Amino acid sequence: MLFSSTTFLFGFLPAVLLMYFLMPVLFRKHSRTAQNAVLFLFSLVFYAWGEPIYIFLMCLSITVAYFTGIFADKTRLPENKKDSKGPFAAMMTAVVWNLGLLLFFKYTDFFINTINSAAGTQIKPTGLALPIGISFYSFQTLSYVIDVYKGNVKCQKNILHLGTYVALFPQLIAGPIVRYIDVAEQLVHRDESIEKFAEGVKRFCVGLGKKVIIANAVGELFDSISHSSQNELSVAASWIGIIAYTFQIYFDFSGYSDMAIGLGKMFGFDFLENFNYPYISDSITEFWRRWHISLSSWFRDYVYIPLGGNRKGKARQCVNIMVVWFLTGFWHGANWNFMMWGVYFGVILLLEKNFLLKLLKKSPKIVQHIYALLLIVIGWGIFAYEDTTALLQNLKNMFGFGGLPFWNHMTSFHLSQNALLFILAVVCSTPLIKKAGGFLAKRKPVLYETVIVPAECILLFTVSVAYLAGNSFNPFLYFRF
C-alpha cells in the first residue's frame, strides 16, 4: 500500500486515526498502551496488504530483537560486569539474524546468477520476492540491539512497544531509518496536540505533492526516454532523461520521507529529518550530509566508526571509507550497478577528503555547484540502470560515444513539453519556497497560519488526488531497496 494511493488516503489513514484517538476515551488508564496496540495492529495490516506471508518474518525479527536486547542488556548490570560473553553472543545473534535475512532474501539470486555467469553452472535461482522494507527494519532492529549492548539505551521489556517501533507504518517500508534511541521515550511518553497534528498534515501534503505532482511526472519522462529506441535519441535527450531521473528519485524519496515525518507528527512522534536540499550542495561531501541522512549516519555509527574511522591513520581511513561506500551501494540492491555507484561516490569522497575540497574552496561558488551537480547526475546515471548493457549504452550516449546527434526533433519535443515541470522541480529543490513562507510568517503570522497554510494544504491535496485519479503511473523507487 502506497501513501500516495486513494486506498491509503481515504480508507486506511482515516480508520487508523479514528481508532487511535478513540483509545484515550475507551482506555483512560492504559491509553498509551492501547494506542500503541492500534498502531502495531494497523501497521501489520499495512504491511500485509502487499505481502501477507512476510508479515511472519517481520514478527520473528521483532521477537529476535526483543530477546537478544534483553540478554544484551545484562552488560549494564553491576553483577555481570566481568562476564560479557553471554551479552556479546546475544548481540552477535542479532547481527547474524538481520544480516542473514538481508543476504538470503536480497542477495541469494544475485550470488547464484554471478556464479552461473562466471563458472558456466546452471544453479536455479530461488525466485523469492524481496520482502518490502526488509532493508529498513533489519537495520532498525540491528541498531537497537547494538545500542542496548553498548549501553546507549535501555532494553525495551514491553514487546508491544518494541513491535510498535519496528512495524510503525509511517517509516516501515521506506524509512527514514528511525533508531530506537531517538524514539524510545516517545513510545511511552509523547504529546499529541492540534498544533502538532496540523503541522503533520502540512508536512504530509507537501510530501504528497512532491511525490504525485513532480516525481511521477518526471518519472514518466525518464521512463519514456529510457525506453526509446537508439535512433530516436540524442546526446541532449540522454542528459534530459538522467536529469529527469535525478529529480524523480529526489522528489520520490524525499516526498515519501516528508509524508512519513508528517504521519509521525499526527501520532505524536518526532522523526529526524532525512533530506536537507541536497541539490544545493557545492561538493559531494556536502551532498552526502544532506541526502538520505538516516542511512549515512547509520553507516557512520555502526560501520565506519567501529572499523576505526579516522583514528588509525590515513591509509586505514581510506580503506574504511571505501568499505562503507561499497556496502552503501550493496545495501541499495543486488545488482552490479549499485556497487559501481557506491564505489563511484566512495572514490570521489576520497579525492575530496585528500585534496580536492581544498582546491574547490578556492573556486567560485558557481563552479563548485556545477561540479557537484555534474557528478551527482552522472552518479544517478549509474544508479538508474540495473541492466549493465543499458547502463553502458546510456553512458556512451551521454558522453557522445553512442553515435547519436547532439540534438533532434524528439529532444525539442521533450524539452518543450516539460520546460515548466523542470522549472518547478528546480525551484522546489531549493529552500526558496520555505524562505518565502518564513518571510510571510514573520510579516503576517495570523494570515499565514490561518489562511495561507490551510489553502496550500487543500490545494496540494486536491491537485495530488486529481493527478492520482487521472494517471496510473505511480511507482515508488525505494520499494525495491
Mind listing the pLDDT tens digit for each residue in 370-395?
Answer: 999 999 999 999 999 988 899 999 99
- Confidence category of residue 399, pLDDT binned at 50, 70, 90: very high
Domain shared by 170 and 248, yes or no: no
Residues in the chain: 481
pLDDT at residue 75 in the model: 63
175 touches 136 (CB < 8 A): yes
Among 190, 223, 250, where does a domain finish?
190
- Give which of 116, 64, 108 is closest to 90, Cα–Cα: 64
Q: Residue 151 domain-assigned?
A: yes
User: How confident is the model over 410-435, as a mean pLDDT?
Assistant: 94
Instruction: Give me Rg for the CA atoms of the chain.
Output: 24
Domain shared by 362 and 454, yes or no: yes
**Whether this model's pTM surpasses 0.85:** yes
pLDDT at residue 174 in the model: 74
- Give which of 132, 461, 476, 178 is closest to 298, Cα–Cα: 178
Q: Residue 72 domain-assigned?
A: yes
Active-site option among 161, 189, 292, 332: 332
Domain shared by 52 and 148, yes or no: yes
Helix, coil or strand: residue 49 = coil
pLDDT at residue 29 in the model: 79
Q: Residue 317 domain-assigned?
A: yes
Domain shared by 204 and 312, yes or no: yes
- Confidence category of residue 426, pLDDT binned at 50, 70, 90: very high
Q: What is the pLDDT of residues 70-121, one digit of tens each?
A: 988 876 655 555 556 778 888 899 999 999 998 998 889 889 988 998 888 8
Domain shared by 154 and 218, yes or no: no
Measure the N-to-C terminal CA separation of the chain; round to a whole number of Å. Answer: 16
Domain shared by 173 and 274, yes or no: no
For residue 445, is the peptide bond before it cis, meaning its omega torsion is within 30 degrees of 0? no
Q: From residue 78, how far is each of 70, 82, 84, 88, 89 by CA, in Å? A: 15, 9, 12, 16, 19
Q: How far apart are CA 269 and CA 200, in angstroms?
A: 10
Q: What is the mean pLDDT of the chain?
A: 90
User: How confident is the model over 349-360, as a mean pLDDT?
Assistant: 92
Q: Which domain holds residue 70?
A: 6-190
Q: Residue 1 domain-assigned?
A: no
- Confidence category of residue 477, pLDDT binned at 50, 70, 90: low
Q: What is the pLDDT of residues 117-169, one digit of tens each?
A: 888 888 998 888 888 888 888 999 999 999 998 888 899 999 999 999 999 99
385 touches 203 (CB < 8 A): no
- Confidence category of residue 479, pLDDT binned at 50, 70, 90: low
- Percent of the chain whose predicted confidence (pLDDT) is above 90: 67
| pLDDT at residue 476 tops 70 | no
- Give which of 61, 94, 88 is closest to 74, Cα–Cα: 88
Domain shared by 264 and 324, yes or no: yes
Higher confidence at residue 20 or residue 131? 20
- Percent of the chain whose predicted confidence (pLDDT) is above 70: 96
pLDDT at residue 77 in the model: 55
- Confidence category of residue 173, pLDDT binned at 50, 70, 90: confident
Domain shared by 304 and 330, yes or no: yes
Q: Residue 67 domain-assigned?
A: yes
Domain shared by 239 and 92, yes or no: no
pLDDT at residue 74 in the model: 76
Domain shared by 254 and 201, yes or no: yes
Q: What is the pLDDT of residues 190-218, one digit of tens each?
A: 989 999 999 999 999 999 999 999 999 99
| pLDDT at residue 480 tops 70 | no
Q: How far apart are CA 206 and CA 201, in angstroms?
A: 9
Among 140, 168, 190, where does a domain finish?
190
- Confidence category of residue 26, pLDDT binned at 50, 70, 90: confident
271 touches 402 (CB < 8 A): no
- Among the residue ranges 107-111, 164-168, 172-176, 239-243, the one predicted with the least confidence is 172-176
Q: Please report which helix (H) or strand (E) contains residue 293, including its range.
A: helix 293-299
Among 190, 208, 240, where does a domain finish?
190
- 54: cell is 512476510
**Within 10 A of 322 (CB to CB), how many other CB atoms are there?**
16
pLDDT at residue 122 in the model: 87
Domain shared by 124 and 181, yes or no: yes
| pLDDT at residue 263 tops 90 | yes
> Is residue 369 annotated as part of the catalytic site, yes or no?
no
Q: How far apart are CA 187 and CA 165, in angstroms?
A: 7
pLDDT at residue 48 in the model: 87
Cβ-Cβ contacts under 8 Å for 169 (sequence gap 6 or more) = 16, 39, 42, 43, 46, 47, 263
Counted domains in the chain = 2
**Within 10 A of 164 (CB to CB), how many other CB atoms are there?**
23
Cβ-Cβ contacts under 8 Å for 397 (sequence gap 6 or more) = 233, 235, 238, 404
Q: Please report which helix (H) or strand (E) contains residue 414, including its range.
A: helix 409-428
Domain shared by 183 and 282, yes or no: no
pLDDT at residue 260 in the model: 93
Q: Residue 93 domain-assigned?
A: yes
Q: How far apart are CA 218 and CA 417, in angstroms?
A: 11
- 359: cell is 582546491
pLDDT at residue 84 in the model: 63
Cell numbers 588509525 correspond to 312
